[in-house]
Structure 1
């Protein structure tokens, strides 16, 4: 037996119970009807003229119902006699290739057949202008050639900086439409300056491009569509501030925000840009973002198949598994770090043979005297915090919380012959 296994063998893994965390579940039930209603807002669809070629910028990861919303938007644009086409709007994602970005759209349910609309994918950009500090502003060549541009994206807190504008329509314009070169340029001075440079680049693009309006999305804590709002371009800056506040309030979270070990079944780019959402875990890749729970050790067990080997976020865990590392595509992973200039999420954390030893390692190193009293939480991923598992040391606190429901009796994790847990 190796020394590592000798050190870990006596460490207990605490029994757990399954609980349900209750959040506001309000959501939109008829998405196409809501989209149609929103597009009656003055300054949105009424700005599109018959015969115009309209670039619809779409592609941000992990948005529930994105294909339904995009198809509804495209249908309304066609109904006024215009000719929409889709532009993948995702900076350097998809390995910074047109083919990779088409594959991401496909994973999101957005294909030419499903949308009944052409998709024009290219990494070719044009330098549009430079900010006062010298940062170059780029735009996708197909979007530049369009008569009109419409952007659709979710509003949510960013994973690496704080400001009045984080992840939303302005970021989609500045970084998404800029493709890899645009994303790289705006990240070049680092996240310390992102709260200034990103909106400045978006303002520049709004001045110089025919961006008519944006469609903002806010999700509830269950990953459901809570709000769809069509916003005229000149109102985006003001409105996005309020929507970001709302999005932060509706972010999924741990109702018991102090514990020793967090076990995450899956990380992946379809879950968060950082594989696991730092706003949920409290583990951020830069000093310019903050919030979330107090967690001592984090374990990442596996990588989603949708991530296509991009294991960005593995470096935000303390421990991982050989299985996850073997699924990692270094080129796809490192491309994100090199573009964003933040490579910590791409580092490979301490790697154990399987789930069994990775979890034991986290318990051993979580700095408590009695390992049997370890406060441990296990989740599928950071998008899904409705039903989770907690160790027995958290049970009394859970029983006293009005928004927590107990779903099971205590049980122990069951590991297969390879030392891994069953994952959904």
Structure 2
């Protein structure tokens, strides 16, 4: 890891400023105070640039924006430990775990992560620590997910019995410094809160939408059933986490074309988190236990439902749910390959992890592309991921805010 510098000059053998750029060629990047200051195409370093600052020659590597994982849980372990184990951890233990996980993410080229729910006292401290450590991913946090009484993830501290309580929690978390707000519109993996059961009524979700907007905070809403998505969209939600079609039968029969049409018509964005099932099935059987049988049924249907959503024109951003079940914090490159294998073009999947993810988080003017004024987050691969997404597994350099960590 290099020492802190105010200026850095980087030579890119091929520069991809964003996934939609059609021509990539050699370029020079001048980074000043953690941001891209100037970009000069060509092989010749501009003569007027300072010649006393540090430089990094990336040869023929393809340099592109750092990746964004829009859905992680930094204070969870990703080793299959249940909620009881997680709840028993102290705040200090959760913070140390969160910092380690943010470090793992950055080394994988994930320069920004969005923590979608944890104990507020822990996740705020993780964000502060990660911000001060150049080898950790930039961390955005939601505080505790807002859920019904004994709803999904209720132990994290976000129970709300009614619309007034929803408003109070959204306000409290935003004023405490949450970067965005997370609400559970359906059950999930918490015992007693099955995913096919909707949580909040439309009125409560509308209160969350309006309060978050009034406080300038993006709102992410967890939906694992067609009914919960229908209610969320009716309430004005525009960013849905997971976007699954779970039913009590778990037979894959829950896909609803009318809901897919509604999502596409309203421009609602889905963060699909396909990695969860993949990593449950990749875990050793003696570790995954009963979860493996459940996800052997679910995962193929999730991939097929994702394909139908893409074909319907639903917009996607990338997120892995890292920390939940067996999902590791370096899973995003694999998530993008699953998205591409289930209906998206490579270019679209890469956009879902850069410019589109940044926009959904309200940071489209700061991260997600290489341009003057943007945070100097970049990765360097041996090939262009638009042609070969496996290139994201072969990184030669990773930098957050101009600080090179590998």
TM range (shorter): under 0.3
Q: TM-score normalized by structure 1?
A: 0.23
Q: TM-score normalized by structure 2?
A: 0.24
